[in-house]
Structure 1
Amino acid sequence: MIHANQSLGQLATSIPGATGVFHQYKLDFCCGGSRTLAEVAAERGLDATEIITKLSELQQQITTRDWRFAKPAELVHHILERFHAKHREQLPELIRLARRVETVHGDHTECPTGLAEHLSHMQQELESHMMKEEQILFPMLCNGFYPAGPIHVMQHEHLQHGDALGDMLKLAHQLQLPDGACNTWTALYLGLNELKEDLMEHILLENEILFVEPVSQKGSCCGSCQ
């Protein structure tokens, strides 16, 4: 349960994505991380309840629905809202945090040097991938067509995304924080772990469910031969 008497540092390092909310309100969760949300909000004339609401939305539990029994259009909608939109929020904030850590702690032996650049490359590749799904493949799947070529291309790119996650973890020292890591560094690794888990679940849903043609449709006539 989130409450206003929690410190900014505690919230930033326990809720993935909280740093993005704090940046919207220009709240210092790093050097000023020991101060409570209530204290800072009162000082700045901000609505702490509004901020708590946004943080609570980040904590909402993801549905455990069994997507094997959903219609393609339902699963596509879920993927767009739960993963495509989320990745577009996650990566810019993670890149910003990584750049900050590399700038401030560049002389630390465990600094994730090169991580920001790698995340920028991941963002470009993932955006290109998602656009192809949204503009080409997803509309076909929603209409009952399962084109082998485009599906194979997306599956191959999924393998590349998996490799990119592996490289990300190497650069981030397997997300093992050094002793005395600041709030920004902690929030970065928290967010990277969330990105890893989200992207893996995203790929799993597509490879194992969305891209698999229902048995009832295999071998059926498309209508063009009539």
Structure 2
Amino acid sequence: MEMLQDKTVANLVTENIKTAHVFKKYGIDFCCGGGVSIAKACEKAGVNYADLEKDLIASKNENTRAVNYNSWELDFLTDHIINVHHKYVEESLPLITQYAAKVAKVHGHHYSELLEIQQLFALVATEMGGHQRKEELILFPFIKKLVQAEKEGTPVPDAHFGSVDNPIKMMEAEHEEVGDLLKKISKLSSNYTPPEGACNTYRAFYAKLDEFEQDLHHHIHLENNILFPKVLKLEKELRNSN
């Protein structure tokens, strides 16, 4: 029987999304870096495994309702990602960009890290804009065609990119890039902790950045750890059956 510490972080979050909050608490990456064992993740983050295990078990025993994304149909999951996470990003990017500009202008002379945070978030905004368009116009429509082919017993549809593995690898690489940018922002902002006496705009800016990062972690988890592996498996099965 597989021990808890031997499971990968990603697998445990896939089984129980509530554990994501525990990993977030301990500073353990469950989306892009979730492919390592829990024991290895603890070692890397300098976390005491016994403490983490206690919280993971507690989260499992909570009575709050958790959504089992792992049971959803792939086409439904893509719609959910667009309607919830893509929409959140589209609505948040302009707001955070405005906050960044205002706070950097007013406080950047005293807190120089704000200027770097502004530049880094501009890269996040550019990256996410193009990334989501590629998913909505290219990858997700193809996933829906795969689902339809499975239901109708028809061959894998043709695509200019060949196997779906190619755009998936590109999306995963872009996830990694954005994740790295937000890690830098988190470090520069002392994990989104405003300085004592910070104005309300400063505080709102850091709170929104924190919220954005948390949403992105969930967003990437749904794609990297649930959607993409199942899509690759489906395409392989369809090719082998025709």
TM-score under structure 1 length normalisation: 0.65
Residue 153 of structure 1 aligns with which residue? 170
1:14-25 matches, cutoff 5 A? none
Change (3 A) 1:215 1:166: closer
Residue 190 of structure 1 aligns with which residue? 207
Which of these residues, 86, 91, 94, is aligned with residue 92 of structure 1? Answer: 94
Residue 210 of structure 1 aligns with which residue? 227
Separation of aligned partners in 2, 1:215 and 1:83: 22
How many angstroms does 1:81 deviate by? 1.1
Separation of aligned partners in 2, 1:149 and 1:109: 42
Aligned partners of 2:143 and 2:231 also within 8 Å:
no
Residue 117 of structure 1 aligns with which residue? 119
Separation of aligned partners in 2, 1:107 and 1:214: 49
- The count of residues paired between Structure 1 and Structure 2 equals 163
Q: Give the aligned CA root-mean-square deviation in angstroms.
A: 2.4
Change (3 A) 1:189 1:207: same
**CA-to-partner distance for each residue in 1:204-224, whole Å, 9 max, x for gaps?**
000111111269846434499
How many angstroms does 1:98 deviate by? 1.2
Structure number, greater radius of gyration: 1
Change (3 A) 1:174 1:128: same
Separation of aligned partners in 2, 1:71 and 1:221: 16
SS in 2 for 1:173: coil
Separation of aligned partners in 2, 1:169 and 1:156: 20
Separation of aligned partners in 2, 1:128 and 1:84: 12
Residue 103 of structure 1 aligns with which residue? 105
Determine what percentage of the aligned residue pairs are the same residue.
33
Which segments of 5 or more consecutive residues in structure 2 lack a partner in the other structure?
Answer: 1-64, 147-155, 157-162
1:43-62 matches, cutoff 5 A? none
Which segments of 5 or more consecutive residues in structure 1 lack a partner in the other structure?
Answer: 1-62
Q: Which has the higher helix share?
A: 2
